[in-house]
A and B are shown apart, each in its own frame.
Chain A
Amino acid sequence: MKRDNLVLLAVLILLALVPFAAEFTGQSSWTKLVGQALIYGMAAASLNFILGYGGMVSFGHAAFFGIGGYVVGILYHHFDAGTAFLGIIPGTDQMLVTLPAAVLVAGLAAALVGALSLRTGGVQFIMITLAFAQMFFFLFISLKTYGGEDGIMVRRTNALPGLNMKDKATLYWVVLAFAAAYYLFLRRLVRSSFGQIIAGIRQNERRMAAMGISTLRYKLYAFILSGMGAGLAGALMVNFLRFASPDMMHWTRSGELMVMVILGGVGTLAGPFIGAGALFTLETTLARYTEHWMLPVGILLLVVVLTSKGGLMALIAKLKGGAK
């Protein structure tokens, strides 16, 4: 336990130094890259909670990511235009308002989708979650007020009292703080009584039902918690890139989140973050050399899925085992 925390602390310190390293080496894009990877890591980790720990293969997780992002975008749009959402809710650019709002709205959306989807299972569950994500995708495309297909530009990152959010490094550290807090939250969650019951349901839903657990309710709560996490990540992403678009919830984005989870290691805490970092770095690096970067990524993914179980985390565990 103690050693885990030391490793975590060391990783956090290294991550906190990234802006300095970027400045020192002149590679200013590093900060942006790692920041995005951290945010994707959060989204993937939120998916991993239902996918890896809960055994629910949701193929529509990007919807909640996008909804969280749009909450920030829409609130900014009304703040900027001096109008009100639906004529009632005024816009704002205060992060202390926008992030909780994003989490709340994403949670409500997840409650709706989960309540309707969790009655099914297997391929039907995969497809119905995908269907709901597509509905949200097309909904936002059709909203001309909020830019339709083009999305919303957020010209200034949301404000946090006492911080200069225009500063790239400050923004990065804010993202890092959220990512670290979310990691700790998930660690607590999977080790809680609730988390244990969710893991039990994944392994044997019938047995848990026979012990008197109303499995549907537990799965729904997990689904909502997971959607809220994705909403938070989406809201951060829009702040980080200053841009919200329907592309955030395209079905291939949901696929990418699943890829990150698998690549890093299903059902592990650090896996999704490692997977997100690996995929994101791979994409960015390959894109520098070839416009056909999707080809090697596809081949790599295929090889990983076909040959290995447990992703990069299993590899790390194996290496650690070998070193001892």
Chain B
Amino acid sequence: MILLFEQLLNGLQYGVTLFLLAAGLTLIFGIMGVINLAHGALYMVGAFAASWVAIQTGSFWGGLVAGLVASGLIGLVVETAVIRRLYARDHLDQVLATFALILIFNQTTVLIFGRQPLFTTLPEIFSGSVEIIPGLPYPTYRLFVIAVGLAVALGLYFLINKTRIGMLVRAGATNRQMVRALGVNIQGLYTAVFALGALLAGLAGVMASPIVSVQVGMGDEIILATFVVVVIGGVGSVKGAFVAGIVLGLFDTMLRAFLPATLQQVMPGPEAQALGVGISSMGIYLMMALVLLVRPRGLFAARG
């Protein structure tokens, strides 16, 4: 029971990380119509910048700021230099150009930081754990990550539903032509949305940096899961990204935590272990295939 609860919290923490990444990705796709495979690279940038600064200065908070600044700035550069030229292109060109960006980002990171993972330590206030229910001490930092994720979700909700920019964003995700017709500075809106997405991806990277191994390629693994979240949630829908992110985070974590042991009860150990891990990794993709079969446009498709 306690184990289950702990895994639920782990799932929630993975879920909010996926949400931070998916929120930006779904807006970028919904509004600009660009498939950005390199979104995971911005997650990596955030993690590396934060870790490096944290190691140099000894300050987690300094790292946090550095991670956000770096991912935001690089996001701006990428939008101006590459993404902007992809708005009018077809999906194939977008996939390939952003695939090229992944290669470039990964190798540049290797050139700067090498292949060894970076490790950071947590600041004093996060090093302990909190006993949420009796018998379950849970790391404070992970709770902090969950809190940050939920706070961002709330902030995005207000930004999108209560502000003028949010109105444009919603309109853009539903009907791109309409926003163009409104005479808004569309390029400015695009750049702002992309930078916001980059910032959120960077934040996800910063948050993850003390608990995952910060190394080249870390973005490639999570970007696929993020795309699954976006597609299940419905392209363009932040609400969908939130629901799908949390559900997938929980689902994936539960599978990984409990499936191998369950299989071990019916078949020999090593095979069960391997099969359990394999099927767990397939889980989210299977879920996406099933969702798309029933709802070809995802759960909360913004576009009609």
Contacts and interface: CB of A to CB of B under 8 A. Distances in A.
19 contacts: A123-B91, A124-B231, A124-B292, A126-B35, A127-B227, A130-B224, A131-B288, A132-B285, A138-B281, A141-B277, A142-B275, A142-B277, A144-B270, A144-B275, A258-B92, A294-B106, A301-B99, A302-B82, A305-B97
Contact of B97 (A122, A292, A302): A302
Contacts of A123: 29, 35, 91, 231, 235
Contacts of B231: 123-124, 127-128
Interface string B260-304: 000000000011001111110110011011001100111000000
Given A122-B91, A126-B35, A144-B274, A298 B227 contact: no
B214 interface: no
B93 interface: yes
A189 interface: no
B170 to A, nearest CB: 19
B3 interface: no
A22 to B, nearest CB: 30
Contact of B95 (A119, A126, A141): A126
A117 to B, nearest CB: 8
A305 B91 contact: no
Contacts of A65: none
A211 interface: no
Nearest to A113: B289
Interface stretch (B107-115, B123-131, B173-181, B237-245): B107-115
A298 to B, nearest CB: 3
B100 A299 contact: yes
B96 A131 contact: no
Mostly, the A contact residues are helix
Contact of A142 (B107, B224, B278, B293): B278
Given A127-B228, A138-B281, A305 B93 contact: yes
Contacts of B292: 119-120, 124, 128
Mostly, the B contact residues are helix
Give the 5 A-B CB pairs with smallest separation, nearest first: A142-B278, A298-B103, A295-B107, A131-B285, A301-B100
A116 B297 CA distance: 14
A255 interface: yes
A87 to B, nearest CB: 16
B286 A302 contact: no
B92 A262 contact: yes
B224 A116 contact: no
A143 interface: yes
Nearest to B108: A295
Given A126-B35, A130-B227, A141 B281 contact: yes
Contacts of A143: 274-275, 278
Given A123-B29, A134-B282, A306 B82 contact: yes
Interface string B34-58: 0100000000000000000000000
B101 interface: yes
Nearest to A51: B92
Given A302-B100, A305-B97, 4 more contacts: A122-B91, A128-B292, A134-B224, A294-B103
Contacts of A139: 278, 282
